[in-house]
Structure 1
């Protein structure tokens, strides 16, 4: 079965005679892309994400493809008989890691989301914010080919929200597809490769003529000099703007939350690119 997921003429309703949530939905989240799903409450966004995550099945139509998928639900079941570290270690083992490697990866993700202090806290005693950090960590631990996020930023503190944005950039940079719903229109604004709205019982792709939210928040401008080869595809996917300022010299603009991922793509390219300067909010650092 192909790895790439595809929804073909999918419809979903609950009960034999229940009303249709939506019908005739076609969606194919391509590798290395970010897809945003929008729509008013109650239109079926979460239902659609559950179909993508293969947690729910369509009433009609087909879902094909079998990518390695991870899902962060809108409400994470926190009352589990594990500590935070124990739960993540268990899932790492489920994904095929040795116990030692699973525990190391679990600790790394808890550290990234600022939750190391809660590593040995029972899941049932975690706050909403700490529980949500475990929820996103369990999804990222799987290194998924398809990452499905349903209001995953809700409950996270500012640093953890930025870290999740970085993690999303990392997943698309290595070729994963990411599909997300978020109530904040500024979330990853301007970064999506495709945007859809659930309305009138089906899925509509946003066209260029429809209004979009402008990119928001601090940005970095990075100037690099490098080989005759083109810029790495990962860097081009992350940048909101690129400009060739001289022979083999380029200026790239990127949201600050994604700058470290872009720099890593440039510095680990073969051959690597040389970083000439980095500017944030009008200040230049060399």
Structure 2
């Protein structure tokens, strides 16, 4: 994915630029605000979800982002990847982003292999490199036998594996994961953390959002999102 940034000029006025994050970080978000508005005037309602959230990731850092349902975790994640515009604040990124949304973004009639081929073209990966990484991800997550299976015929757990594998395909410098192990069995859960550790050792940053953190020792830091702010 391309680098992106939102730079505040005044409250609720956002300009788009292309500033990289500082050398010590691969992702730097500051003062991020987001308001959701519903209905029409004069009964239009506004809800301020993010009230100046800050988040920084360093190379090789694994960070957990936790908060209650409706706290704005997924909203913040979407802003970080550029899928949603912030109303204020800045987001700067060094390198490639990989994003694993909570709900898999797949095409029902395509097989797993066809998804790899499609996403590889989007990432501009050479065919040989895509085939090599595909084999590694099939083996690492244990779903190679479903290579020729259409997405609408996959179980929820296997669909979650495909969702994660597609985010890992371009070897991103920053990997953003929204509830990535929902639906994983215990064996896949352990394989997931092996992949995370490999990314840490390779100097890649990983952000994982969840309702709660089990295995807190696996993280370098835990960031709490409460009342629209990170703590």
User: Could you tell me the TM-score, scaled by structure 1's length?
Assistant: 0.66
Aligned residue number for residue 52 of structure 2? 24
| Counterpart Cα distance in 1 of 2:29 and 2:76 | 10
Distance 2:131 2:48 in 1: 44
CA deviation vs aligned residue, 1:205-232 (integer Å, no higher than 9, x gap): xxxxxxxxxxxxxxxxxxxxxxxxxxxx
Per the alignment, residue 93 of structure 1 pairs with: 121
The unaligned stretches of length 5 or more in structure 2 are 1-18, 39-44
In structure 2, C-alpha distance between the alignment counterparts of 1:129 and 1:68, rounded to whole Å: 26
1:156 aligns with 2:184: yes
Selected match of 2:168 from 120, 123, 140 = 140
Q: In the alignment, is the contact (CA less than 8 A) between 1:115 and 1:133 conserved in 2? A: yes
Conserved 8 A contact 1:123-1:131 = yes
Contact 1:89 1:106 in 2 (8 A): no
Is 1:192 the equivalent of 2:210?
A: no
Q: Whole-Å Cα distance in 1 between the matches of residues 144 and 93 of structure 2?
A: 36
Q: 5+ unaligned residues in a row in structure 1: which ranges? A: 205-286
The Cα offsets for residues 86-115 of structure 1, whole Å up to 9 and x where unpaired, read as 111222233232223312321321122111
The higher-RCO structure (CA 8 Å, 6+ apart) is 2
Contact 2:67–2:224 (8 Å) recurs in 1: yes
Match of 1:2 in 2: 20
Aligned-residue CA RMSD in angstroms?
A: 1.8
**Secondary structure of the structure 2 residue equivalent to 1:148:** strand
Contact 1:90/1:102 (<8 A) preserved: no
Q: Distance in 2 between matches of 1:112 and 1:174?
A: 16
- Is the counterpart of residue 15 in structure 1 residue 8 in structure 2? no
CA contact (8 A) 1:113 1:159 kept: no
Match among 56, 65, 71 for residue 93 of structure 2: 65
Cα offset, 1:131, TM superposition: 0.6
How many pairs does the alignment contain? 203
Q: CA deviation at 1:184?
A: 4.8
The answer to whether the aligner puts 1:117 opposite 2:117 as a matched pair is no
Q: Quick check: 2:60–2:203 contact (8 Å CA) kept in 1?
A: yes
Give the conservation status (yes or no) of the 8 Å contact 2:106–2:115. Answer: no
